[in-house]
Amino acid sequence: MPLLPDGPFVRASACGEGSNCVEVRHDTRDGIVVRDSKDPDGPTLQFTPQQWADFLTEVRRGRHDV
């Protein structure tokens, strides 16, 4: 999966216009950065590209379904 270019946070198209979403961006310095759209100035989670790829693989396999 290609990484997002450095730049603004993006959210999944399934999120629609709602404000209860996870936003993600690629940052060459910090890796993959994730934040809560309801609190854009709040804390972020940071992952290496490999950690993020592993997480997405597990999601696609249904390992995190609720």
Question: How is residue 52 annotated by DSSP?
Answer: H
- In terms of residue numbers, what domain contains 27? 10-60
What does the pLDDT look like over 36-49, one tens digit per residue? 988 888 999 999 98
What does the pLDDT look like over 2-44, one tens digit per residue? 554 567 888 877 787 766 888 999 887 778 999 998 888 899 9
| pTM: predicted TM-score of the whole model, two decimal places | 0.73
Name the residue among 2, 16, 17 with its Cα closest to residue 49: 2
In a domain, 1, yes or no: no
In a domain, 42, yes or no: yes
In a domain, 47, yes or no: yes
Domains held by the chain: number: 1
Beta-carbon contacts of 25 under 8 Å, excluding residues fewer than 6 positions away, are 4, 6, 7, 8, 9, 10, 32, 33
In a domain, 2, yes or no: no
In a domain, 39, yes or no: yes
User: Whole-angstrom Cα distance, residue 2 to residue 25?
Assistant: 12
User: Whole-angstrom Cα distance, residue 66 to residue 58?
Assistant: 13
